[in-house]
Amino acid sequence: MRFFRKKGLIIERKAHKYNDPFLQPLAVAIVSAILVSLILTTGFLEIRRSEKNLLAFMEDQALSTIGVLQRLTEENLKSIVAAPEKKAAKSKIAATNDETAHSKQWVVDAITAKAMNLDEQWKKNNITNDSLRIFAVENNFFYVGLLNRLGNAIYESSPLQTSIMEEDDLVKEGSKLTTLELIEQIRLKKEIGFVALRRKDNSGTVLISLDKSGLIYWSLKVAGEKGMSKIGEGHGIIYMQIINEQNKLLSSVGQSAPNLNKNDFNFPGILSGKVKIASRKVNYDNIKILDVAAPLLLDKKIVGIVRIGLDRRSMDKSLIENRQNIFVFMFFIVIIALLSMWLLYHDQNRHMAGIVEMERQLEKAERLSSLGQLAAGVAHEIRNPLNAISMAAQRLKKDFVPSNPQKETDFQNLSSVIKDEIKRLNGIIEEFLNFSKSRRLEFSRFSITEILQKIVNLMQEEASARGVKIETTWRYAPVITMDVNKLQQAFINLIKNAMESIMEAEGKIYITVEKESKNHIVVKISDTGCGMTSEEIEKIFSPEYTTKEKGVGLGVPLAFEIIRGHGGDIKVISRKGKGTTFEVILPVERFNDTSTKNKD
């Protein structure tokens, strides 16, 4: 039975409460914290893994685009620099010549556009030798010159290198060669090329010459532009650039790209082949971009770097959705984990409390059984000497009365004391004998109200002598399965206990019978006595405890044993100075008792 509080009263059951938890709260808290930490760590790792996967996907997309650009650039470059094979068939030579001429024309057109821009600056008188030198360096030109009508240089990026030529090669018919004629001689010696743009009025010529490295630079530049033009924009590509080994921009398509710092990409690592791809997240012109750089290979040789800007807004949107889903998932997992830990903690403690309670009940049952056996043996041994003492006291009172009246009065008083104490000892022995026999029950069907009314009739005279009034209310009059004599003894003990707790005059005892549930009834025995504290309620079911000066403490434990033998239970509702209520809950039927005897 358990004890609990309700509406200011102390309501207690006899079962002991187990206070020591099986799992300490600190241990549960530590395990829960570790579990939650593992879940959170797993969630954050999953977020990082998802981000890496999306980043790897976009980098693969960039590498795929670069691969297409690389293939197109390589094909265009081969077409530009290729020469027809001498031993090839005529048809094949013709086709190759057409393709090569067409590809080389791309380079010529690009250089011609530069020459035309230079001519426009010349017309505006914005040209100097220094500006031509800068122009030549920026565009990888071998020589840039502005020639007059006769073909001699007016402005030039640098003096022509004539040291490689013979003296006879520098003159023609006794006159020095013009700049245009010298460029032709140098072309034959060094195998360089040039583009000459003559003005329509023959007032001058713009001359641009390229050596082998310049030709490769412009071939790569033009080939890259043609390749990027074939790929075009779209597919999430914001911009695309080709940068050569000298960190010069060869070609670019799309929007303008954000400026680069030396720490943005590991260009030396990319050009050396150690870094296959590098990327960074940037926000440029209110657009979220994934800036990707990878090496550009031609004939398995790194000749530059391709830089691509990919729109990462869709990636960021996917990441946000993934984070939200993972956080929601982690939240529910944490809640489930904490709830599981709490249920484990609660169930284990409850089961452990049940085991401990069973051990206590078993220990108590063994103690009560030993006490019953001891009581039976002691009662048997004491009863015979008591009978002899009682008979001797009666004979003394009858045959040996003193003749002195003063002594006769004392004699009679002492004899009465002996008689009363013998009677009290016999009562104690009877309680011990009843306690030892309380578990041997014989069941039959009988009316609970008839039992209670019989007890009230028997105890009415004693209650009146104490100034106690007994009031009964039968709200329910069932016939239940019981051991009539034993249950009657239990109720007598409880009613007598209630009667003895009433100290003041005109106290009252209320006895009611109610229906507890479909299969149970409740008998309430309430008094207006002194009541009990919670500490006293804890002990009233122990055989060794009593609040009476001459009691042995077996009345309530005996009642409890009998009621428990009937499959019932007892609630104790008490408060110091406010009285006590014993609620006896009994089953209507004992379905597991095959020895039940029906009584009509």
- What does the pLDDT look like over 511-547, one tens digit per residue? 999 988 888 999 999 998 888 888 787 777 766 556 5
pLDDT of residue 543: 64
Query: The sheet that has 193-198: what strands, in order across it?
Result: 153-156, 143-147, 205-210, 193-198
Joined tokens for residue 256: 């303008």
Joined tokens for residue 300: 């398995």
The larger pLDDT score, comparing residue 585 to residue 66, is at 585
Asked if pLDDT for residue 381 goes beyond 90, the answer is no
The region of weakest confidence among 114-118, 337-341, 453-457 is 337-341
Question: Looking at residue 528, what DSSP letter applies?
Answer: -
Residues 6+ apart with CB under 8 A from 207: 143, 144, 145, 146, 147, 153, 179, 180, 183, 194, 195, 196, 197
C-alpha angle 385-389-391 in degrees, rounded to nearest 5: 115
Q: 50 and 319 in contact (C-beta within 8 Å)? A: yes
Residue 281 in domain? no
Residue 549 in domain? yes
Overall average pLDDT of the 255-274 stretch: 82
pLDDT of residue 169: 65
Total structural domains in the chain?
Answer: 1
pLDDT of residue 599: 37
Asked if pLDDT for residue 32 goes beyond 80, the answer is no
Phi-psi region of 21 (alpha: psi -120 to 50; beta: other; left: phi over 0): beta
**Cα end-to-end distance, the chain, whole Å:** 33
Asked if pLDDT for residue 98 goes beyond 60, the answer is no
Average pLDDT score over the chain:
77
Overall average pLDDT of the 104-127 stretch: 86
Residue 445 sits in which domain range?
439-600
Query: According to DSSP H, which parts of 400-447 are helical?
Result: 405-436
The larger pLDDT score, comparing residue 390 to residue 3, is at 390
pLDDT of residue 522: 93
pLDDT of residue 81: 57
Describe the crossing of helices 555-565 and 484-501 by its angle, rounded to 10 degrees.
140
Overall average pLDDT of the 565-576 stretch: 87
pLDDT of residue 524: 93
DSSP-assigned beta bridge partners for residue 243: 249, 305
Overall average pLDDT of the 559-567 stretch: 85
Asked if pLDDT for residue 295 goes beyond 50, the answer is yes
Asked if pLDDT for residue 134 goes beyond 80, the answer is yes
- Alpha-carbon distance of 269 to 276, in angstroms, equals 9
The region of weakest confidence among 172-186, 273-287, 512-526 is 172-186
pTM across the whole model: 0.44
Residues 6+ apart with CB under 8 A from 513: 448, 449, 452, 473, 474, 475, 476, 477, 478, 521, 522, 523, 524
Overall average pLDDT of the 72-101 stretch: 51
The larger pLDDT score, comparing residue 455 to residue 93, is at 455
Overall average pLDDT of the 268-285 stretch: 87
Residue 251 in domain? no
Helical (H) or strand (E) element with 21? none
The larger pLDDT score, comparing residue 129 to residue 216, is at 129
Residue 105 in domain? no
Residue 579 in domain? yes
pLDDT digits (tens, 9 = 90+) for 196-212: 888 888 888 898 888 87
DSSP-assigned beta bridge partners for residue 321: none
pLDDT of residue 525: 93
Overall average pLDDT of the 250-260 stretch: 79
The larger pLDDT score, comparing residue 444 to residue 433, is at 444
- Is 276 strand, coil or helix? coil
- Alpha-carbon distance of 67 to 13, in angstroms, equals 83
Residue whose C-alpha is closest to residue 77's, from 240, 250, 249, 294: 250
Strands 444-447 and 237-244: unpaired
Q: Radius of gyration (Cα) for the chain, nearest Å? A: 58
pLDDT of residue 168: 66
Residue 323 in domain? no
Beta strand ranges found along 191-326 (DSSP E)? 193-198, 205-210, 237-244, 249-254, 278-284, 287-298, 301-311
Residue whose C-alpha is closest to residue 222's, from 78, 120, 97, 96: 78
pLDDT of residue 16: 41
Residue 89 CB burial class (10 angstroms; 0-12, 13-18, ≥19): exposed
Residue 279 in domain? no
pLDDT of residue 1: 41
What band does 5 get if pLDDT is binned at 50, 70 and 90? very low
The full length of the chain comes to 600
Asked if pLDDT for residue 501 goes beyond 90, the answer is no
CATH code: domain of residue 568: 3.30.565.10
What band does 233 get if pLDDT is binned at 50, 70 and 90? low
Asked if pLDDT for residue 563 goes beyond 60, the answer is yes
Asked if pLDDT for residue 17 goes beyond 50, the answer is no
270: how many CB neighbours lie within 10 A of its CB? 23
DSSP-assigned beta bridge partners for residue 585: 522, 569
Residue 324 in domain? no
Describe the crossing of helices 405-436 and 313-399 by its angle, rounded to 10 degrees.
140
The region of weakest confidence among 171-175, 333-337, 350-354, 458-462 is 171-175
